[in-house]
Amino acid sequence: MSTLSRDEVARVAGLARIDLTPAELDRLAGELDVIVESVARVSEIATPDVPATSHPLPLTNVFRPDVPVAVLDRDAVLAAAPSAIDGKFAVPQILGEDA
């Protein structure tokens, strides 16, 4: 039994300002019906004793701790650069705009 009619799909497409052909309306009505039925089946399975989760596996933070460290010396860094002007890296212009 279909829960979404072709007319409902056409109404929602109109609200979203999406122009659909009659063939697309028929196809989407069927596809959306499958999605609605799948969500209904999951809702039947989700009982109060099953905790809600956002992921099937537990997630853990894999980032290192954010620990402040000494900053690099600007002069030492710029000494290793191919080109520097006024204490900044100098790079070739690539966009063709006036500097």
Residue ranges of domains in the chain? 6-45
**What is the CATH number assigned to the segment(s) 6-45?**
1.10.20
Does the pLDDT of residue 2 top 70, yes or no? no
What is 15-78 written as a DSSP string?
HTT----HHHHHHHHHHHHHHHHHHHHHHHH--TTSPP-SSSS-----SPP----PPPPHHHHH
pTM over 0.75: no
* 16-55: pLDDT as tens digits: 999 999 999 999 999 999 999 998 888 787 778 877 778 8
Q: Give the chain's mean pLDDT.
A: 87
- Rounded Cα distance between 6 and 14, Å, is 12
**pLDDT bracket for residue 70 (50, 70, 90):** very high
Q: What is the mean pLDDT of residues 8-13?
A: 93
